[in-house]
Each structure stands twice: as C-alpha cells, then as structure tokens.
A and B are shown apart, each in its own frame.
Chain A
C-alpha cells in the first residue's frame, strides 16, 4: 500500500526566511512518481513538480528546490526567501507506476504555510 506523510500540519515564517516542507512516503513499487501541489487561499490546486523514483537529482526552480532522497524515502520541498504569496497549503503525493494503483496518486494531508510580512 502507498502512503504519504506530511508531519508538519502548519508552519509559520516571516517573509524572507527559508522554509522546508517535509514529505515521507511508503511504497512497495520500485518505480514511482512523487509530486508537490500548491493550494493557495483561492482554493485551486496547482501542480508544481514531479520526480521519478529512478532520478534522484535534486531540482531548483527559482526560489523553489526539491530534495529527493530514496534512502530515507523523503521528498522535501524548500522555499528560499519566502514571500507572502507563498502562503498556501502544500500537498505531497505519490503515484505508483504499476499494479492496481497505477495512475492513481495518494496525497498527504498537506502542510499549511503562512508567510507573515
């Protein structure tokens, strides 16, 4: 069975601070995909990034970076120099490539990030 755990329910930081959102996953599949989604106060869910299980290279996109470590089953998300507009709920998700769960993503419970001015 696949499972995603986001242990941090809420995080509050002051603007310009760096913040890391943790994500730990469980899966029996050898090939899988990890995702992060953002849900701002307006309510829509926005896809941010996908990582393949066979590619542990970290990724940076502007102020966002993702650290994928297969050894610890973690896929953490760091926002550098946070801004008020980063305030949102962030969801980590896992999708297995094969088996009965193929194509279906399991979501974590989300981390609510509040960035104060």
Chain B
C-alpha cells in the first residue's frame, strides 16, 4: 500500500490566491482527517469525514476554509482567499475502525507545507 498521499508537498502562494490541497487516503479506510500544524498552536484538527461524510468541521478556522470528499479515495482542502497566517503544514490522515488493520491509529500523509507571502 502506498500510504496516504498528499499533494503538493510544498506550496508557496501570494496572499489572496486560492490554494487547494489534495489527499488520497489508504484504500478501505473509512475515516479521513485534515490537521494543521504550527509552532504556536501545535496539531489542530480542522475537519474529519466518515464514509465521505463530514462529521465535525468545528476546527475549520473560518469560511475561507472548505473541505470536500467526493468519494472514498479523494479529499481536498481549499483556502480562498489565502492569508499569511494560513502558513503551516497541513496533514491528511486516514484510519479505519477495524482492529485488524490500523488498530484505530492514524496513518498520516507526508504533509503539505504551505507558505503564503
């Protein structure tokens, strides 16, 4: 299995531009999570999906952020318009609740380092 695949690995964009981060979870996993990591706030859960349905988006900082999961193998996190304070590493993770697989633990992608200038 290729693991959780995120793209791009690095993104540098100008303030005001739209940014789209992509994630392909592990096949068969029924949970997908989007986290943001910064030095100031650590790991923050932004939103998570179960069977492609958003369950909790209370961590999404504001309306500029949106996330979709159109099918079981793909999710996007979009920021429009982007601001310098959005600069962070964004992680996608997937999980399944069957013990024989990931034992409920997360498998994280490599992250996308976003810099908004």
Total interface residues on A, using CB and 8 Å? 19
Interface of B is mostly: strand
Contacts A35-B105, A47-B106 hold; do A103 and B91 have CB atoms under 8 A apart? no
Q: Establish whether residues A104 and B108, one from each chain, have CB atoms under 8 Å apart when the complex forms.
A: no
Asked if A116 CB lies within 8 Å of chain B CBs, one says no
Q: What total count of A-B pairs have CB within 8 Å?
A: 49
Q: In the complex, which residues of chain A have a beta carbon less than 8 angstroms from the beta carbon of B108?
A: 37, 44-47
Q: Establish whether residues A95 and B104, one from each chain, have CB atoms under 8 Å apart when the complex forms.
A: yes
Interface of A is mostly: strand
* Cα-based distance from A70 to B108 in the complex (angstroms): 28
Contacts A103-B55, A107-B43, A110-B42 hold; do A47 and B110 have CB atoms under 8 A apart? no
Q: Establish whether residues A43 and B110, one from each chain, have CB atoms under 8 Å apart when the complex forms.
A: yes
Asked if A33 CB lies within 8 Å of chain B CBs, one says yes
The answer, among A33, A37, A43, A103, for a CB contact under 8 Å with B31, is A103
Closest 8 CB pairs of A and B: A45-B108, A47-B105, A50-B103, A107-B43, A109-B42, A50-B105, A103-B31, A33-B104
Which of A's residues lie within 8 Å of B, judged by CB? 33, 35, 37, 43-47, 50, 91, 95, 100, 103-107, 109-110
